[in-house]
Amino acid sequence: MAAPQITSTKNPLIKSLRALVVRDIQEPDDRLVVEGVRMIEEALASGVAVEVILYDPTAMTGLRAVAVLDRARKQGVRLVTATTRVVAACSQVETAQGIIAVVVHPRAVLSDVLASPHLIVVIADRIQDPGNLGAIIRIADAAGASGVASTTGSVDARNPKAVRATMGSLFHLPVASAPAPELVAALRERHVRILLADPAGTSDYTQVDYRSPIAIVLGNEGEGPDALWRTVSPTTVRIPLYGQADSLNVAVAAALLLYEARRLREG
C-alpha cells in the first residue's frame, strides 16, 4: 500500500530535507538536494544513489516527469508524495518545479581531481557566489577538464544553488576542496604548471602554453586570487577588455581559458 501523502511541513522527512536545503557550509555529509526533472534525470542516469524523491502529483503529469518517476521506481528509489504547499516549502527556487530528490554523492578527494594523465584542473580560489561556482563546474565539464578543486573559503559545491547551477555536471567530474597550501604542494609534487588568471597578467590568454598538465587558478570575485598563488605561478594570464567594463565574470573567464586550452590541444 502506498504511503499517505505528506500534508505538513512538520513531517520528519520534510524537516530533514529542508535542513539540507538551507545548509550553506561544508559539512561531512554525502547527501545533497537536487530539484527539477532535468537534474533528477541526470542523477538517475549517472548512477549516484538517490535516497528519496519528494514530488507533487499534480505537477508531475507531463511525459518527461512520468518517465522520471517510472525510472526511479525501476531503480528502487523511495517515492513520496506531498501537497503543492509542502513541496514548495522545500524548494529554493522562486517557482517550485514540483519534484525534489536527496542523493548520496560522496565527495571527491584531491587525488581524484589530479588523477588524469592529461590534467586540466580548475582551481576555484575562495569563490563566494554559489552560482559562479556551479557555472565553473558546468563549464569545466563541458570543456573536458579533469576536475575542479576549490580552496578553503569557497562556497560549498553542495550548496543547493551551486548544485542547480552545475545542471548535473557535479555528477560527471570530480570536485574536491582543500586548503590552498595543500593544493600547491599536490600540484608541485605532480609537476603541474599553474596558470593564474589575472586582469593585469603578463601573458595574453591566446599566447599561453596550455599543454598538460596544467592548473588554471580563478580568484575570488572581488579580491582576486590569494597572494600565495602569485608566489608559485610564473605565468599570469590576462583576458583583454575592449570596452569600458573593468572585469569579466569569473565563470566567463573560466569558459574562455578552458576552451582556448581545448582549441590548442585539438588544433
Secondary structure of 25-44 as H, E, C letters: CCCCCCEEEEECHHHHHHHH
Per CATH, the number for 110-266 is 3.40.1280.10
State how far the Cα of 82 lies from the Cα of 16, in Å rounded to an integer: 15
Residue appearing with cell numbers 599566447? 207
97: Cβ–Cβ under 8 A, 6 or more apart, which residues? 35, 36, 37, 59, 91
- One digit per residue, the tens of pLDDT, for the chain of length 267 reads 566 899 999 999 999 998 887 765 556 678 888 999 999 999 999 989 999 999 999 999 999 999 999 999 999 999 999 999 999 999 888 788 899 999 998 889 999 999 998 899 999 999 999 999 999 999 999 999 999 999 999 999 988 889 999 999 999 999 999 999 999 999 999 999 999 999 889 999 999 999 889 999 999 998 889 999 999 988 899 999 999 988 899 999 999 999 999 998 886
How high is the pLDDT of residue 267? 65
Q: Where does the chain hold its CATH 3.30.1330.30 domain(s)?
A: 12-104
In this structure, are residues 33 and 163 in contact, taking their beta carbons and an 8 Å threshold?
yes
Looking at the DSSP assignment, which residues form a beta bridge with residue 121?
147, 215
C-alpha distances in Å from residue 140, one per residue of 52, 173, 174: 28, 9, 10
How high is the pLDDT of residue 19? 87
Q: The domain 12-104 is classified under which CATH number: 2.60.40.10, 3.40.50.300, 3.30.450.20, 3.30.1330.30?
A: 3.30.1330.30
Please tell me whether residue 225 adopts helix, strand or coil conformation.
coil
Q: How many residues does the chain have?
A: 267
- Grid cell listed for 240: 583583454
Q: Where does the chain hold its CATH 3.40.1280.10 domain(s)?
A: 110-266
Burial bucket for residue 188 (CB in 10 Å: 0-12, 13-18, 19+) = exposed
- Grid cell listed for 140: 569545466
How high is the pLDDT of residue 186? 96
- Grid cell listed for 94: 522562486
Alpha carbon dihedral 160, 140, 206, 216, in 10-degree steps, equals 80
